[in-house]
Amino acid sequence: MLRYLNQCSYGRGAWLLLALTALAFELTALYFQHVMGLQPCVMCIYERCALFGVMGAGIVGAIAPKTPLRWAAILIWIYSAYEGARLSYEHTMIQLHPNPFVTCDFAARFPTWLPLDKWLPAVFVASGDCAERGWTFLTWSMPQWMIVIFAAYLLVALLVLIAQPFKPKRRDLFGR
């Protein structure tokens, strides 16, 4: 399996699949926001940014998968998936254990050099309450599902990282 993951990390297809799955989750979030009317909270926006990081890793990896840029993509992927899982867990704890002393901010805080909420307000402006459970599926709220999604991204990213030293076996003419 590790040899297969190594081989996949050298091709564009796997990286594009990573970017497309993250894009599908982003489009789903925008559907929940703009069609179903579920307003994202600050934690949702930060989780959305982590998902954009995973998508960015897929794009970076697809640009030049056979160069050292692949290593940058793997590191971006691991960092984004870890931060997404951490944020989703924190968000879940806010929902499961509401406390008037532990709340989220009213607005997302982006760096002055990257004001995403000013550039794309339809995507990055928060107006919901972090403690509100507005949507559930199989009794799990959205941040709980995001923990699963980011944990899966993180697990696969770590396996791809571990697989890097495992080169594919060379086969001779008779397939041995």
The residues that are catalytic are 41, 44, 48, 104, 130
Residue 167 φ/ψ, nearest 5 degrees? -80, 150
The residue behind tokens 């982006």 is: 110
Give which of 89, 110, 23, 27 is closest to 59, Cα–Cα.
23
- Please name which of 73, 94, 107 lies closest in space to residue 147, comparing C-alpha atoms: 94
- Which string of DSSP letters, residue by residue, matches 80-117? HHHHHHHHHHHHHHHHHS-BTTB---SS----TT--HH
